[in-house]
Amino acid sequence: MEKYEGVMRMLHGDLHDPSTSSESESIDPNQPDILMDQTSQDCFDKEVFRDQLLLHLTSPFCIPFLLAAGKSTLLANTSLWPWENLSDFTWSVVPAFWYVNLLLFVLYNQDFAEANIYGSEIVFLPLGAILVHRSMIALKYSGLSQVEYQRWRMAPPSLAHRWSKQIQLLSSWLPLPDNVLEMEVQKACRIQGANLLELRFQHDVRCVNSLRAWKVWQQMSECSTEQLHGELPCQHGAMEDQRVTQGVQELSATEVLLTLWRMAIDHVVRFNRVRLVGFWALLPSCVPMIWRAVASSAEDTSRPDLILQAAFGRSPPVPGDARSVVVRLLVRLKTRQIGDAKKTMQSNVSKVVIYAVVTSALICYMHVFLAGLFAVMGIVHYKRMMMVLQSICRLTRPLFCVFPNLPQAQLSGRVGVENMRAVLACFEVTLRLGGRYQNRVEAYIATLASAATLGMSFIVVGVVIGVHNQMNSFTVVILSLNLGVTAIMFQMIWYGSKANENFGLLANNICRARWRNSVQKEDEDCEQVMSLAMERLAILCETEPVNIAGTVPTCDLGYSLLSVAGTIVAFVIGKLYNWDIPA
């Protein structure tokens, strides 16, 4: 985990190494420890989004003007100035490289064209990557309420940096520190009107078997997620003392919910998607160079060094090039001496092209990598929600032996009413936990999907009207990005649909418990509470289900998305390769 956090700290400019910020600075004790303490679920400020987007797109050129305007606090809180480490410096000046490349592409357009390098690689792909990433940063700040944004805006840099880590997806919502998790539980309780602090899971200990079941409640936090949902009992579940102390034992519902969330968080955070996203981010940065190298190797395989040069933009000397070199040399001789012309032709031009290609590839890789990680957070969020709802549902399972390491709530007798209230409250709170983080994840996915769709629309229109008649590197990049975004969205929809299945499963478990109680003629109050709980679940399933961008996720929706995306990709590839597609 420490290695993962170190990688994220090096990659993202808004992630700050705690050692670089002076935590010893005096912090106002009246300021809250957690910035996002408001219960607002839907927060979006257009003015904040616009200002933050322009700020991060025009950095570092805007820094002198903002300093002159007296907005040094804003620059310090956004880590644009002063630069405390290499990461801050890199992410502040990286847009400047794109502006320089744009200028070089305009001045040396003929040299880029001779090296088979076009604006899609040097201008449009890096611009799209920067716009997507900087839009995500702007969405982060615009997702704060007005009170929270002004609080962060006027805070000292040390406190603002600590708050920035709390509102980050990669530094906060992915590992989810305990203080942020507790605050999100409190906000969800206020939204749903459920006070978990007053609710208890109760267990009536009457015999050895019930005592062993109570030990499972006590030892739940010592199990891993795999052990909790496994079929074999843990070794620490064995009882050394068989003496039975009869009575009702209690455990806080808040403690149980926090334990279930912590297990899901610790399980999901150990994901290998960082490596997968890293390989995926190579597509827009390396495919154009690989495409040129392959094209060059098809013409001449005797000089590997020339193939490598062609990949980075220096054209190998093939027949026909000598004449163009001479013509360009004579043109420049009109205004320059022979030595200057040779130096410009052989040194400056090639270096300019190589510099533009390398920096554009780095810009694409850095921004697409981070944008992909932000998008993967959607998968992480919905998978965690699915796992927690699944665990809460299994608390009411009819057979204890199915999951011997997971507690089983007693839904009969004198403790049935309290347990039923605690289970339903935990279920409701989970549905609303982290609502604003979820909204931001959905906005990130929508931003990435919009960019991919825009690129795909250019390809499709070009194929239809006949402008694009053969496969090229830009087409390969756009198709790959669309498939990647589609795969991420499909996984989000899949986990969201699995989370919604727990509504029916929990209602089914309650119905079975109610049937058993009726056969055994248990307390009528417990039966009435169960009936109300089933009605409440039916209403929640209709009004407050797990949703993605206001849409209830279903497996059919996910498969439809795959079908549409796959059909469009197959159509483009078929047209470009002149496949005979039957009518």
Give 277-303 pLDDT, tens digit per residue: 989 999 999 999 999 988 888 766 667
State residue 156's pLDDT score: 92
- Cβ atoms within 10 Å, residue 171: 19
Q: How far apart are CA 497 and CA 545, in angstroms?
A: 10
Of 120-134, 226-240, 403-417, the one with minimum mean pLDDT is 226-240
Is the model's pLDDT at 2 over the cut of 80? no
State residue 28's pLDDT score: 62
Q: How far apart are CA 487 and CA 455, in angstroms?
A: 17
Torsion sign, CA atoms 273, 277, 278, 279: positive
Residue 56 or residue 267, greater confidence: 56
State residue 322's pLDDT score: 41
Structure letter (DSSP) for residue 396: T
Q: Token pair for residue 91?
A: 């992410």
Residue 266 or residue 382, greater confidence: 382
Helices (H), 312-348: 321-333, 338-343
- Cβ atoms within 10 Å, residue 33: 14
3-state secondary structure (DSSP) of residue 155: coil
Q: What is the band of 304 on the pLDDT scale with cuts at 50, 70, 90?
A: confident
Q: Does 82 sit behind a cis peptide bond, omega within 30 degrees of 0 on the bond before it?
A: yes
Q: What is the band of 402 on the pLDDT scale with cuts at 50, 70, 90?
A: confident
What is the average pLDDT across 143-172? Answer: 92
Torsion sign, CA atoms 148, 149, 150, 152: positive
State residue 46's pLDDT score: 93
Q: Token pair for residue 233?
A: 């009992």
% of the chain surpassing 90 pLDDT: 59
Helices (H), 411-472: 416-432, 435-465
Place of tokens 């990286």: 94
Residue 316 or residue 257, greater confidence: 257
- Tens-place pLDDT, residues 461-471: 999 998 888 89
CB 364 within 8 A of CB 125: yes
Helices (H), 521-545: 524-543
CB contact burial 265-279 (16+ within 10 A = b; e otherwise): bebbeeeebbeebbe
Q: What is the band of 244 on the pLDDT scale with cuts at 50, 70, 90?
A: low
Do the strands 200-205 and 247-252 form a parallel or antiparallel pair, or are they unpaired?
antiparallel
CB 499 within 8 A of CB 389: yes
CB 426 within 8 A of CB 256: yes
Q: Token pair for residue 183?
A: 């605050």
Q: Token pair for residue 78?
A: 């956004």
Of 152-156, 159-163, 482-486, 518-522, the one with minimum mean pLDDT is 518-522
State residue 245's pLDDT score: 74
CB 101 within 8 A of CB 357: no
DSSP 41-77: S----HHHHHHHHHHHHSTTTTHHHHHHTT-HHHHHH
Residues whose CB is less than 8 angstroms from the CB of residue 80 and which lie 6 or more positions away in sequence, other chains included: 55, 56, 59, 60, 63, 88, 92
State residue 111's pLDDT score: 87
Amino acid (one-letter) located at 187? K
% of the chain surpassing 70 pLDDT: 85
CA 396 to chain centre: 32
State residue 152's pLDDT score: 95
State residue 223's pLDDT score: 85
CB 357 within 8 A of CB 116: no
Is the model's pLDDT at 404 over the cut of 80? yes
Q: How far apart are CA 418 and CA 200, in angstroms?
A: 7
State residue 56's pLDDT score: 95
State residue 381's pLDDT score: 94
Instruction: Name the residue ranges covered by the structural domains of the chain.
Output: 2-171
Q: Does 60 sit behind a cis peptide bond, omega within 30 degrees of 0 on the bond before it?
A: yes
3-state secondary structure (DSSP) of residue 171: helix
Mean of the per-residue pLDDT values for the chain? 85
Q: How far apart are CA 565 and CA 559, in angstroms?
A: 10
Is the model's pLDDT at 236 over the cut of 60? no
State residue 30's pLDDT score: 74
β partners of residue 248: 204
Q: What is the band of 105 on the pLDDT scale with cuts at 50, 70, 90?
A: very high
State residue 195's pLDDT score: 85
- Tens-place pLDDT, residues 313-370: 865 444 444 444 444 544 554 554 444 444 444 445 678 899 999 999 999 999 999 9
DSSP 156-169: -HHHHHHHHHHH-I
Nearest to 419 by CA among 396, 385, 394, 440: 396
Of 36-40, 222-226, 312-316, 319-323, the one with minimum mean pLDDT is 319-323
Residue 177 or residue 273, greater confidence: 177
Through-space distance between the first and last CA atoms of the chain, rounded to whole angstroms? 54
What is the average pLDDT across 551-580? Answer: 92
CB 89 within 8 A of CB 76: no
Q: Token pair for residue 303?
A: 């000089």
State residue 414's pLDDT score: 83
